[in-house]
Structure 1
Amino acid sequence: MSVMQGGQVIGLLIIIVGLLSIFARDFFWKTERFSDLLRGKRTERTALWDMWQVLKGVLAIVIGLSLMSQGHF
């Protein structure tokens, strides 16, 4: 069993954030809405916002996987 290196740990964290971005969109929306409320902005959740959350999540997973696999080819 080998110990994970720094890039692999960061890759794993990025993958977790990506998965949360895809599957916990309600949580991210609540935090964004609260942040906007503190700044005095009124926001609406749209299909476009949801689509971008999924795309960012997929991109984060790809980046995380590439970080985790560096040096293992």
Structure 2
Amino acid sequence: MKKEVRDPQGLAVEKSLKTLGYDTVKRVRVGKYMEVFFEAGSREEASAKVEEMSRRLLSNPVIEDFSYNLLEPEGEK
């Protein structure tokens, strides 16, 4: 979620953590995590596909930023 967007879920988690005695917690942001498995001919192609998928469907650019990591499935190198 973009920094300037309010995060009511994050604020609720932060308050609860402090209530439980975790006084050193300064801020909590709650977001979403996805794993997308697909085939690509190269890392460059994979990166381009992820960028396109993220911009077209997986994120809401008005309120969300996105980042990604490209990983090779275990046992497939």
- TM-score normalised per structure 1: 0.28
Give 1 or 2: higher helix fraction: 1
* Higher relative contact order (CA closer than 8 Å, sequence separation 6+): 1
- TM-score normalised per structure 2: 0.26
